[in-house]
Structure 1
Amino acid sequence: MGQNHPVDISAKTDYAVRALLTIAAVQGGHPVSADTLAQEQQLPRKFLESILGDLRRGGLVVSQRGAAGGYTLARPADEIAVAEVFRVVAGPLAEVRGLRPHETSYDGAAQHLPTLWVAVRASLRDVLDETSLADLLSGELPAHVRELAHRPGAWQSR
């Protein structure tokens, strides 16, 4: 019997979103140190430092050196979609054997499978591109995201 492999939200992606939410939650946009982020979200510091470097290179945070240094968002939280975080730290939202869904091609009985893979990617985009850090902070998620989360069975494993 084959083993199921779920859509994987990596620790790196999870930590990146949590760190950005913590930075966004700071009043007045004061820099937040890596130590504070690691402590507040219980993240491994060395791994977090690598993630923060990716976020800085990806244009999502700005770093400031010195005693009062740390990280601030590069743009307001309502202008940073969760999908951007995924793409910066993990690459494309969906891949099939290392290919983008629209790059796949199959013969015979599987010929229509690329359409399904593209639809899966589109559904991820519908949630992640339309949800900002500010939405997550406030809990005011887009209506279609709330509807998905409240569907019967949404919180149950299958």
Structure 2
Amino acid sequence: MYISAKADYATRALLELAHEPGRPLTCEVIASSQGIPFRFLKSVVGELRRAGLVRSQRGCEGGYWLGRPADEVTLLDVVRAVDGDVLTLRGAPLDALGYPGPAAPLPGVWRQIETGAAAVLGGLTLAALLPAGAREQPSEVGAA
């Protein structure tokens, strides 16, 4: 399985936001803290915003917050927001995949792998990945 840079960067950015729920963070701060290229992070955060995983505020006190509480955002949400499908074959979705003859069972194997990966990703929230002392309370999301 291939984990894209977009999915990795998106998750790291969201963890930064979950760690600091009481104030907005700029892309510059997140990029610097996580060692993520700023330009790439800007486009990733745009995708997260369109998916409702972050919200933004313009201005000198602006920045980004989580769009939902950290305990409601799974890694599956993040991957689907920036990559679409969890697993693809040469960039194509597995839905209509079919092979002839002795290779006919193989698409089922790929689908099982995708199902397993989605189950793992769907079972992990941002809150679960934060150190115990840094876990946000759901009521703190967007408080500022």
TM-score by length of 1: 0.79
Out of 97, 106, 129, the residue aligned to residue 136 of structure 1 is: 129
Structure having greater relative contact order (Cα 8 Å, sep ≥ 6): 2
1:26 equivalent in structure 2 = 20
Matched, 1:125 2:102: no
Q: Conserved in 1, the CA contact under 8 Å of 2:13 and 2:34?
A: yes
Name the CA shift for 1:17/1:94 in 2 (closer, same or farther; >3 Å).
same
What value does the CA root-mean-square deviation take over the aligned residues? Answer: 1.3
- The alpha carbon displacement at 1:101 in A equals 2.3
Which stretch shows the higher mean deviation, 93-102 or 44-53?
Answer: 93-102
- The alpha carbon displacement at 1:27 in A equals 4.2
Matches within 5 A, 1:1-158: 7-28=1-22, 30-138=23-131
Q: Conserved in 2, the CA contact under 8 Å of 1:102 and 1:117?
A: no
The percentage of aligned residue pairs carrying the same residue is 44
Name the CA shift for 1:15/1:74 in 2 (closer, same or farther; >3 Å).
same
- Moved segments of 4+, more than 6 Å: none
2:137 equivalent in structure 1 = none
Q: Tell me the distance in 1 between the aligned counterparts of 2:9 and 2:28.
A: 14
Amino acid at match of 1:103: A
How many pairs align? 132
Q: Tell me the distance in 2 between the aligned counterparts of 1:136 and 1:77.
A: 10
Structure 1's unaligned 5+ residue stretches are 1-6, 140-158
Q: Conserved in 2, the CA contact under 8 Å of 1:80 and 1:132?
A: yes
Q: Tell me the distance in 2 between the aligned counterparts of 1:16 and 1:74.
A: 13
Structure 2's unaligned 5+ residue stretches are 133-144
